[in-house]
Structure 1
Amino acid sequence: MATTRKAAQRTEHTMKKRVDAVVKVARQTGLIGEKSARIAGRVSPILVEEAKKRTGLQSDTDLIEFALANVAIEDNFAEEFKKLEGTVDPTLDLEF
């Protein structure tokens, strides 16, 4: 059980770092600043509860802000990486 608890703590710590990093980048790029816009919608309470548990965020506002920032700063790494497939010269010596 101690191993499971440690794994859960590591996952929680990693998620907190991710949330902090996303919010920091969003602030630095000017995406988060004055809070004057409102957003409303109906969502499953189970979805909200699980998202709060996973992120460690408690307020609906913080959760929505993180979720929107996460989408807004997405770098599409996977798609961009896939586009590069086959673009490296096959004769290039990668030393392994």
Structure 2
Amino acid sequence: MAKIASRTPLRPAVAAGKRRRAISKLAGKKKTSLPRLAKVAAIFERAEESGLRGEKDGRITGRVSAVLIEKAKARTGLTSDTELVEFALANVALEDNFAETFRKTQGTVDPDLKLGY
């Protein structure tokens, strides 16, 4: 079982510096858009802060389409299969379900609520 470390949130300036370094590292690997690289770096950062990127003590195997792997690597800028799987799993583990919650709450605002205009 993976160890989950409790960490204090990074100060914004420290987090931004770590994110810039991660983006620079990814940018050197492939020609991928900066917003996409920033998303990859942010997911890895959030996973690390949540204790999800600790000791590498798990193993996963599977067979998937080579085209899928190639396309995913091109979109993320990642070159390693391990990094790609780790990114995909972290992305799922950190999902905030915003779209689902937004749909569920559609039309639920009290009609008497004063919005200031």
What TM-score results when the alignment is normalised by the length of structure 2?
A: 0.69
CA displacement at 1:86 relative to structure 2:
2.2
Q: Give the letter for the 2:68 counterpart.
A: L
> 1:25 and 2:46 equivalent?
yes
> 1:12 and 2:15 equivalent?
no
> 1:34 and 2:55 equivalent?
yes
| Per-residue Cα deviation, 1:56-96 (whole angstroms, up to 9, x for no partner) | 00000000000000000001001111121222111222234
1:3 corresponds in structure 2 to none
> 1:51 and 2:72 equivalent?
yes
CA displacement at 1:37 relative to structure 2:
1.0
Q: Which runs of 4+ in 1 moved over 4 A?
A: none
Q: Give the letter for the 1:17 counterpart.
A: A
Q: Give the letter for the 1:31 counterpart.
A: L
Report the number of matched residues. 87
Distance 1:57 1:74 in 2: 20
Distance 1:91 1:34 in 2: 52
Question: Between the two proteins, what is the percent identity of the paired residues?
Answer: 57
CA displacement at 1:53 relative to structure 2:
0.3
2:94 corresponds in structure 1 to 73
Distance 1:21 1:76 in 2: 17
Among 76, 80, 92, the alignment partner of 2:113 is 92
Higher helix share: 1
1:83 corresponds in structure 2 to 104
